Structure 1
Amino acid sequence: MTSTSSSRPNCDYCGLPVPQPLLQRRHPEPDGPRYCCYGCRFAAAISAEDGTAASARWTLTRLGLAIFFAMNVMVFTMTLWSYDVYEPDLSDPLTATFAQLLRYLCLLFSLPVLFLLGKPIADNAWTNLRDGVLSTDLLLMTGVVAAYVYSGWSVLAGQGQVYFEVGCMILVMVTLGRWLEATGRLKATEALDRLQNLLPATVTVVTVDGETEQPLESVQVGTRLRVRAGQRFPCDGRVVDGCTSVDEQVFTGESWPVLKTVDDTVLGGTSNIDGDVLADVTAPPRGGAFGRLLEIVRQARNARGRYQQLADRASRIFFPAIVLIASATLVVHGLTGGWDRGLLAALSVVLIACPCALGLATPMAVWAALGRAAERGVLFRSGEVLERMAGIRTVCFDKTGTLTTGHPHVDAMVCDPSTSDEELLQRTTALAAASTHAFSRAICRHADTRHIRPSRPQAVTTLPGRGIEGTFDDGIGPVWLGNDALMRERGLTLAAPLEEALQSALDAGHSIVLAGWDGQVRGLFVLHESLREHAGQALDDLDLLDCHVHILTGDHRSRGEALARRLGVPVHAELQPEDKVRLVLELAEDGPVAMTGDGINDAPALTAADVGIAMGCGTDVSRDASEVCLLTDDLARIPWALTLARQTVRTVRQNLAWAFGYNAIGVVLAATGRLHPALAALLMLVSSVLVITNSLRLGYQPIDGEADTSDSGPDQRSERKNDPDRERIEHETALETLALQEAGS
């Protein structure tokens, strides 16, 4: 995915893209801060994001003064309304003079409101218009100015109605509403800001002249830094002196410290717990693994999904449609009931149809969900991926390294009677050392415990999905290390003791690696793999979410059958990478499929699936084959992410239904003259607040403790499968209890 920042500059307050110009292909070069809406411009001024504390105080003072003057205008107007209720004798000079005085006071006190709150909105409308963006601020200010002009003429002419209170209340309500929208946007995107704040503002640079404190931005690759206990590493680097424990939870999700010594790699954003170390910078500030993590979240936040595109298309239609409706309302009511009433009705149409709620309906929910997911170690590549995740009905798991721990160990080694243990280990370890496969690493660890020195091979070739082939300089032909399919392919025979051991291990569901040369299988390794701690619970939770689970593995069929009996889900065994792709595509015929793998071996299947989920991306967050990256190896994150995605889409639909329904009904009422402009401004504020509140609830989506995982081992899961109704009731009760707790908090 490419960043959109070059074509769509981001708001200097909330960090979101500014509106796309309609009349230009590219945004003009900015000559100052950029804001996506008037609310962000106003909120930035109040929070002094781009100014001094004095300017922030003046902005707040300006808002307070505007509210003060508006309240006085309302008091004077209510006094004038009493004239209509009690119908005093206006032929009395004193009564008539007092009424005219009230009208002049309304004019006098409303002008500061127009200057204090109307001018910034007008400036924002002009800035958008200059950039080719047609905003509702332009329509809004046109209506407000028209109401002021008509009311001012009525005061000076001494006849007609005055509507200064309408203009004042509209300006106050709109300003407060836009401010709430801006702070809501910032709230929905603050997860990225919290991630950015993990890096220190200054660093300790070590040179031949001593140590100096410098800004983080001044650090370059090759700079030597001192990082003391309790500080965070500001950049990716390599330890050159010292020893410490490092908390890498921001990347791996694991709270257990990792020991780092000389020549070990450290990642920016991780915490130095208890040591004082020197490290050479290997990536620029905000680059490396931490920078890639931030970029993924930023790109996902700026990308637009299907629902966002729908809202964007509707918003583009809104402006010309509302112009036509408001114009028609002005003309019809002006000809039939008076131009003052026509102006008020047209202004009501503009206010009630302001697409603030529609514009916030999708992005607010998506931003809140993406931020919450990032905090919990789940990275979605885009909002569109989040939407697709909600539709997943089948989840496939690779076995080794995904469903299992990826750290198997050798339980037993059986040799042919004519081959010694030492010879077998010398040759197999030499081949295994050239591979990164989990089984190869297990064989190497087993050889280390026996203190066996491997032979030196002449050449080693990896045979994908089958094993390894190597040659040695001792006159013996090729040596093969791999599965039984490779042995059969090379025509190697199996002696009776080995055949009996092989069959026994397969019946028990263990993994087997065979080794052979000179036409005969010389030995085999029996390996044991442990399921991840919460694997059973994750599969149960997916079942409760009505998701079909399939396990894909290249292991022997008998081991697949044993695993299927253990977990109670379909296991497809003896699959090559292309077979996994074919199976994923077949399953996709019955509905969207998610594939979960390690992001390397399973890249073809991850790409073929509707959503690819890569496990343990903490040190490789730029993995391209997957659309969802888990920074931890906790399988419970998958059903949680699926639940979050579904709740997000449900929230988006609720927001869109409300925004479309509210606008449609409101426009009809306003166009028929049944909605006062002040009430329309209030309803616009309430509508935006409802959408914001509904969306921000996703920021508190529970992730840990949805159900008790203490008995989530595979054996207990098999027992629970025998009573699915009881298990479903237990899970639903736990989830309902947690939801009530969350609602209360």
Structure 2
Amino acid sequence: MTEHSHHPAGHHAPVGEAEPDFTERHATSAAQHQHHGHQGHDGADDHAVHSHGQHAGHSTAMFKDRFWLTLALSVPVVYFSPMFGHLLGYVPLEFPGSSWIPPVLGTVIFLYGGQPFLKGGINELKTRQPGMMLLISMAITVAFVASWATTLRIGNFDLDFWWELALLVAIMLLGHWIEMRALGSAQGALDALAALLPDEAERVTDAGVETVPVSELRQGDVVLVRSGARMPADGTIVDGRAEFDESMITGESKTVLRAEGDPVVAGTVATDNTVRVTVTAVGDDTALAGIQRLVAEAQASSSKAQALADRAAAFLFYFATLAGVITFIAWILLGSLPEAVTRTVTVLVIACPHALGLAIPLVIAISTEQAAKAGVLIKNRIALERMRTIDVVLFDKTGTLTKGEPEVRDMATVDGGAADELLALAAAVESDSEHPVARAIVRAAQSKNLDLPPAAGFSSMTGRGVRATVDGRTVQVGGPALLRELGLSEPESLAASTREWMGRGAAVLHVIDGDRILGAVSLEDAIRPESRQAVAALQSRGIKVAMITGDAQQVATAVGAELNIDEVFAEVLPADKDKKVAQLQARGLKVAMVGDGVNDSPALARAEVGIAIGAGTDVAMESAGVILAGNDPRAVLSMVDLSRASYTKMWQNLVWATGYNVIAVPLAAGVLAFAGIILSPAAGAVLMSVSTIVVALNAQLLRRVKLNPSQVR
């Protein structure tokens, strides 16, 4: 079909400056998904493993298997332990050999369940980076040696730590299993999605429709996607329209209407109709593959919070070692070797950071998982941590706060004519054009369920407008150039409205019947309905909102005023966007930049947090730390809320975990022995287990943070 060429240079000028964005979007939509690199993710565990040095070389399944077997072996060890029986006030059953159950099974637990920690501790010693694994291995080794010394009656010690050793190993295995399962869940969910991709596709050929393996699809192929079927690859609809379920990509449960020219993503489901789609990306080049790669990168990325936990573990190692040495020397000087050994062993066992092992990693794991479920893909964990400190969110206008396509905004008629009749007439004339502006007029008429009169003889008049015959009348739609050519001038009643529209940067088109002006319509870049909520909610959280655009000042001012934005940067060239970020930073503000991923890379990279919105544009963009899989700007609020909540949980857990050790270790060492207060090994072990449970439960509370954009307030 002939494209529009009539949208005027005059009345249309303000939006005309924005229109390259419209055109670029339509022109590039077919190629949008070809930028996604991908690396294999069969070893999902490995990505989770390497994100936390403690787990190097181990998998989720290994921790799970060792935990269950260790737990099973721990039950008889705990039951037959005299110390535990004394603690709970019961006498274990006695039969020949019953006293050997704890040491024999305890040894199995030490060698089998404790193996990952012993290996990790040796590695930390070799690298001279003492941390969690060295603390754990030191505690279980001391408990193991002391318990055998007591069992074999070597020295006058009462250090029956078999039950404590068993529970210590079981709890630490459980903690590591939970952590790694959470770390891998986001990747696992996406792997499960990839597994749901169809094995076969229906490819349309000259000979008809043939069923082929998805692996045989190539760019440019046309595939038939029936109602209820999944998209086998990324593509662009060339025939038909259907409601698509995109929840697996965006986190939004509401279906989205996709029609001719619209991009669709592999893994999404056509729910109600059959469509034909031209394949634009297959396999590792699809948006889904790009998302999987991003999640893997996020799991492998470093984190300041994790570094903090590692430093805390190192501190506790030196603290426990020093406390153990001082305890031993102090009790030796007091003349009690058995008490010196007992107190020292108790200190080293209690110093083991059960809770610290979960404090930070579990919070990070759950926050990353929750974000992925909501369509917020954390590519760099530091970006999530920084989000709580942001002072201003800088939104790119076109495609972020707005839809990046024109929309009929207002209509005015001459002599009191019906606005709907005017719109129906304009839509009838425009119905044969595929220009974005023409489609906007037709879409507006369809949304009102207007009956369009039949039109014939469509023609385009370069630079002036379009013409068609409707009910035997020649009807034209165009801007100022068309009016000048026809020698027509606007009636004053109409001119007042068009001046107001142009004042806010709208494009104005007139509808002309013969030589009589019937009325005019205004078109503007459509503001996303979610944008108002996003701006208001950010401001209610004490965060300023700014907008940046290459559009003319009056267009930007109008959008900024409508959304109540704090600061507007207009007529900014793409290459200069990062300078505006720098200007805000020079004022002492921490900036989160939200862009569509097309030409915002420098600005996204310069900002404290770079957020790319819309998986359809450039999901693999390296400059963004966060990807919002959907196009809903309210998802930025999910980032802010999750960042603040996870930071609070991290510190609560860290304070609880380290605070417990700092208080319990001196008590175990006997600093208050003169007052008759000594923390027994049994009591310390119980309190230590309670500390671990508190930390784990506290981290789980993160799941209550509302991250669905529609629930954000």
- For normalisation by structure 2, the TM-score amounts to 0.69
Does the 8 A contact of 1:248 with 1:270 survive in 2?
A: yes
Closer, same or farther: CA 290–574 of 1 in aligned 2, 3 Å = closer
Residue 200, structure 1, aligned to residue 198, structure 2: no
Offset at residue 590 of structure 1 (A) = 2.9
Residue 43, structure 1, aligned to residue 43, structure 2: no
Closer, same or farther: CA 394–679 of 1 in aligned 2, 3 Å = same
2:666, 2:83 → 1: CA distance? Answer: 31
Offset at residue 206 of structure 1 (A) = 7.6
- AA paired with 2:707? I
Residue 371, structure 1, aligned to residue 369, structure 2: yes
Does the 8 A contact of 1:173 with 1:682 survive in 2?
A: no
Does the 8 A contact of 1:251 with 1:618 survive in 2?
A: no
Offset at residue 389 of structure 1 (A) = 0.9
- AA paired with 2:565? V
Does the 8 A contact of 1:333 with 1:342 survive in 2?
A: yes
- AA paired with 1:346? T
| Structure 1, 141-150 or 235-244: larger mean CA deviation | 235-244
Q: Which residue is equivalent to 2:571? A: 575
2:366, 2:681 → 1: CA distance? Answer: 32
Q: Of 505, 509, 520, which aligns to 2:504?
A: 509
Closer, same or farther: CA 447–76 of 1 in aligned 2, 3 Å = closer
Does the 8 A contact of 1:237 with 1:265 survive in 2?
A: yes
Q: Which residue is equivalent to 2:336? A: 338
Residue 19, structure 1, aligned to residue 53, structure 2: yes
Offset at residue 322 of structure 1 (A) = 3.1
Offset at residue 264 of structure 1 (A) = 8.8
SS at match of 2:195: coil
Closer, same or farther: CA 703–561 of 1 in aligned 2, 3 Å = same
SS at match of 2:618: coil
After superposition, the C-alpha distances for 1:353-401 in whole angstroms (9 at most, x for unaligned) are: 2234334322221221121111111122211000111111112223232
After superposition, the C-alpha distances for 1:278-312 in whole angstroms (9 at most, x for unaligned) are: 99987665662112112212221221222222222
1:509, 1:124 → 2: CA distance? Answer: 66
Q: Which residue is equivalent to 1:552? A: 548
Aligned length: 591
Closer, same or farther: CA 200–380 of 1 in aligned 2, 3 Å = closer
1:79, 1:389 → 2: CA distance? Answer: 48
Closer, same or farther: CA 450–507 of 1 in aligned 2, 3 Å = farther
Residue 688, structure 1, aligned to residue 671, structure 2: no
Offset at residue 122 of structure 1 (A) = 4.2
Residue 288, structure 1, aligned to residue 296, structure 2: no
Q: Which residue is equivalent to 1:306? A: 304
Residue 163, structure 1, aligned to residue 159, structure 2: yes
> Which ranges of structure 2 fall in alignment gaps of 5 or more residues?
1-35, 128-132, 204-208, 413-429, 444-454, 464-479, 482-487, 510-519, 672-677
1:597, 1:330 → 2: CA distance? Answer: 61
1:3, 1:363 → 2: CA distance? Answer: 28
Q: Which residue is equivalent to 1:24? A: none
CA RMSD of superposed structures (Å): 5.0
Closer, same or farther: CA 153–45 of 1 in aligned 2, 3 Å = closer
Residue 191, structure 1, aligned to residue 186, structure 2: yes
1:624, 1:446 → 2: CA distance? Answer: 38
2:651, 2:37 → 1: CA distance? Answer: 27
Instruction: Percent identity, please.
Output: 26
Closer, same or farther: CA 204–226 of 1 in aligned 2, 3 Å = farther
- For normalisation by structure 1, the TM-score amounts to 0.66
Does the 8 A contact of 1:396 with 1:595 survive in 2?
A: yes
Q: Which residue is equivalent to 1:68? A: 76
Closer, same or farther: CA 239–564 of 1 in aligned 2, 3 Å = closer
Closer, same or farther: CA 233–111 of 1 in aligned 2, 3 Å = farther
Does the 8 A contact of 1:14 with 1:40 survive in 2?
A: no
Does the 8 A contact of 2:231 with 2:269 survive in 1?
A: yes
- AA paired with 1:645? S
Q: Of 703, 709, 712, which aligns to 2:707?
A: 703
Offset at residue 543 of structure 1 (A) = 1.4
| Structure 1, 380-389 or 566-575: larger mean CA deviation | 566-575
Aligned 1:411-560 pairs, distance under 5 A: 441-442=436-437, 504-505=499-500, 508-512=503-507, 527-560=523-556
- AA paired with 1:681? A
Q: Which residue is equivalent to 2:581? A: 584
Q: Which residue is equivalent to 2:143? A: 144
Closer, same or farther: CA 558–124 of 1 in aligned 2, 3 Å = closer
Q: Which structure has the higher relative contact order (CA within 8 Å, separation 6+)?
A: 2
Does the 8 A contact of 2:51 with 2:299 survive in 1?
A: no
1:104, 1:292 → 2: CA distance? Answer: 63
Q: Which residue is equivalent to 2:610? A: 612
> Which ranges of structure 1 fall in alignment gaps of 5 or more residues?
22-26, 28-33, 47-58, 84-98, 415-428, 434-439, 458-483, 488-494, 515-523, 709-730, 732-745
Q: Which residue is equivalent to 2:152? A: 153
Closer, same or farther: CA 117–644 of 1 in aligned 2, 3 Å = same
After superposition, the C-alpha distances for 1:190-231 in whole angstroms (9 at most, x for unaligned) are: 2332222123379545899x99999x9xx4665999977545
1:114, 1:200 → 2: CA distance? Answer: 42
Q: Which residue is equivalent to 1:256? A: 255
Closer, same or farther: CA 373–279 of 1 in aligned 2, 3 Å = same
Offset at residue 125 of structure 1 (A) = 4.0
Does the 8 A contact of 1:220 with 1:284 survive in 2?
A: no
Closer, same or farther: CA 507–408 of 1 in aligned 2, 3 Å = closer
| Structure 1, 270-279 or 170-179: larger mean CA deviation | 270-279
1:592, 1:663 → 2: CA distance? Answer: 36
Aligned 1:28-177 pairs, distance under 5 A: 34-35=57-58, 41-45=62-66, 60=69, 63-74=71-82, 78=86, 107-128=99-120, 131=123, 132=126, 135-154=134-153, 160-164=156-160, 166-177=161-172
Does the 8 A contact of 2:502 with 2:508 survive in 1?
A: no
SS at match of 1:407: strand
